[in-house]
Amino acid sequence: MKENNDPTVNWKKELLEWLKILLAAAAIALFINTCVIANTRVPSDSMETTIMAGDRLLGSRLSYRFGSHPQRGDIVIFKHKAEPGRDQTRLVKRVIGLPGETVDIRDNRIYINGSETPLEEPYLPEPMETDDRHFEVPEGCYLMLGDNRNVSADARMWEDPYVPETDISAKVFFRYYPGFKRVS
């Protein structure tokens, strides 16, 4: 077989090979970003000091697949219509109430299922100052609150305070900007 030494043909073959590689890389990146990881930027200070405004986070979309469910204390990315008249938006908050539980806020502390012992929350940057509230979390839903409770617009303010499990897209694991840090 005769070898083609025409530089135009070789250049075109090389360009075609690079295009194939770039398209394959883009398809893989799209698959990973859609099915495996969630990437988000935190716009507010509702989760300070655990997560700061402007932080970029990575979460696992696989964490709650295959029979696993969110647990109290997990930090999750979810979509929710937080304000009347607005479309759903992606939020980052901490899971406080699980399906079927009652959650009471009394004297600025959280009590689960009528317990006399308040929930331990070492991640709070300062004591919570809020009105007393009572929540009855429906089956299949969760109650979410921000860590920075005194400034967080969370379930305490939402018209519908409950987040269906189907709207939870990922469990947050890492902050990658600025700097790398495990989030919990």
How far CA 55 is from CA of 52, 58, 107, in Å, comes to 6, 10, 32
Using CA atoms, how far apart are residues 104 and 101, in angstroms rounded to an integer?
Answer: 10
The Cβ of residue 174 has, within 10 Å, a number of other Cβ atoms equal to 14
- Has 2 been annotated as catalytic? no
Using CA atoms, how far apart are residues 76 and 118, in angstroms rounded to an integer?
Answer: 22
Rg (CA), the chain: 23
- Has 93 been annotated as catalytic? yes
Give me the catalytic one of 46, 63, 152, 171.
Answer: 46
Structure tokens at 154: 């969370």
Cis, peptide link before residue 178, omega less than 30° from 0 = yes
Backbone angles phi and psi of 97, in degrees to 5? -105, 135
Give me the catalytic one of 63, 93, 152, 171.
Answer: 93
Catalytic positions are 46, 93
